[in-house]
Amino acid sequence: MNQGGTKQVAILIETGRSYPRAILTGVRRFLAEKGPWATFVESYASGEVIPEWLKSWNGDGILVQTFPSYHSESLLDVGVPKVELRSRRYHSLRPFVGCDNREIGRLVASHFLERGYENFACVTLNSQDFFQERSDNFKEAVIKTGRSCRELPSPEGGGAIDYESYMTNLIDAIRQLPKPVAIFATSDRLGSYVLDACRRGGLSVPEEVAVVGCENDETLCEFSVPEMSSVNFDGEGVGYAAASLLERLMDGESPPRDPILLPPLGIITRESSDDLAVRDHLVSRAGRLFRDHLGDGISVSDVAKRLNCSRSTLERRMKAALDRSPKEELFRLRMNRIEYLLIYSDFTLETIAEQVGFAQSTHLHAVFRKRYGMTPGEFRNRKRPK
């Protein structure tokens, strides 16, 4: 234990998804800044048992994603500080670092509401508290606006399911929803089920059904048809905060009473929710033209001309449908696209300016700094995955 002053830490984590891998990146960043541990990383999947070597391991601390209850029971015998990274369900007194599910629910509701949706549904699992927290807080945020939110059928347990039978039930449930409808899936796996049900049921996405998943697992999101929007967790921030907490615990600090919860970084908007849900077809067509021609420097007057209407008519009808002007909507779309390109591309500011319709990168720089209180470069450094 603590040979030569170097702390020995076991990291028990599932590495098959993007979020746990981001957690490891955050742990590595902490160690690069604060000094090394002798780490023992054990990658396992849900349902696997805690490794036998841990029972006789002479270490100093553990970072763990606990799955079934016997994981927790096995860890009780290892008398070193531990930080939980997945769920408080199996050991509520263990220090916990994770995502703020209340903020996740509110974020998704806001994403749909600003696009004009009036009909909402969610699909979740009952196997973990955090799934239910996400759906409960999404429904709460929707209901506060005077709207309702329906629940779609859930696959039993979240493990092995009769997929074809579940698809039949899910297709029938989605068909019965009033359209257009916005659906929040509390995991990307569930989101992929919803998209498959829409494809099989002949429902267009996002025109009839918009879908947002949760966790932004890039493999699931980018292989979905269409590509799926998803909540982007701050996995790296969770990893860094967990490593920092474990370091303090190993140095003798008392564990905190409350969990450490980090808000999501935002929603990565892909095709599955990239639309406006409004009954006014003029407004819907205008929004589509704005999105399709961001890089052309399109203006509100250009769109009004293409739609064969006056600018004042477009202003009045978009304000009535979205509670914002065409100019404000165009600006919102440009800022969202700039954020995405800063985080997920290596494009220079000049290239980004061209792609979103700014004539000069200096103008983009000034507008961005005024809106966000930081330069585009500072935003990129803070937000992008390391």
Per-residue pLDDT tens digits for 21-48:
999 999 999 999 988 899 888 876 655 5
pLDDT at residue 157, rounded to an integer: 54
Q: Is residue 70 scored above 50 in pLDDT? A: no
pLDDT at residue 158, rounded to an integer: 47
pLDDT tens figures, 108-152: 999 998 888 889 999 998 878 889 999 999 999 999 999 999 999
pLDDT at residue 25, rounded to an integer: 93
Q: Is residue 249 scored above 90 in pLDDT? A: yes
- CATH fold label, 101-233+267-273: Rossmann fold (3.40.50)
| Whole-number Å distance between alpha carbons of 176 and 305 | 38
Per CATH, the homologous superfamily of domain 281-383 is: Homeodomain-like (1.10.10.60)
Q: What is the DSSP string of 98-120?
A: EE-HHHHHHHHHHHHHTTT--EE
Q: What is the pTM of this model?
A: 0.76
Strand ranges, E, within the chain: 8-13, 38-43, 61-64, 82-84, 97-99, 119-123, 149-151, 181-185, 209-214, 229-232, 260-262, 266-268
pLDDT at residue 129, rounded to an integer: 84
pLDDT at residue 185, rounded to an integer: 97
pLDDT tens figures, 302-323: 999 999 999 999 999 999 888 8
Per CATH, the homologous superfamily of domain 3-98+235-265 is: Response regulator (3.40.50.2300)
| Whole-number Å distance between alpha carbons of 198 and 204 | 7
> Where are the chain's structural domains?
3-98+235-265, 101-233+267-273, 281-383
Domain 3-98+235-265 and domain 281-383 have a common topology: no
pLDDT tens figures, 78-100: 678 889 998 766 566 689 999 99
pLDDT level of residue 205 (50, 70, 90 thresholds): confident
Beta bridge partners of 229: 212
| Whole-number Å distance between alpha carbons of 192 and 176 | 19
Nearby residues of 18 by Cβ (< 8 Å), 6 or more positions away: 215, 216, 217, 218, 219, 235
Nearby residues of 30 by Cβ (< 8 Å), 6 or more positions away: 239, 240, 243, 244, 247
pLDDT at residue 243, rounded to an integer: 95
pLDDT at residue 71, rounded to an integer: 52
The radius of gyration computed from the CA coordinates of the chain, to the nearest angstrom, equals: 23
| Residue 233 CB neighbour total at 10 angstroms | 24
pLDDT at residue 271, rounded to an integer: 85
For the chain, the average pLDDT equals: 87
Mean pLDDT value of segment 192-207: 92
pLDDT tens figures, 320-335: 888 889 999 899 889 9
Q: Are 122 and 140 in contact (CB under 8 A)?
A: no
Compute CA distances 160 → 149, 211, 287, 298, 376, whole Å: 27, 23, 41, 49, 45
Mean pLDDT value of segment 337-363: 89
How large a percentage of the chain has pLDDT more than 90? 53
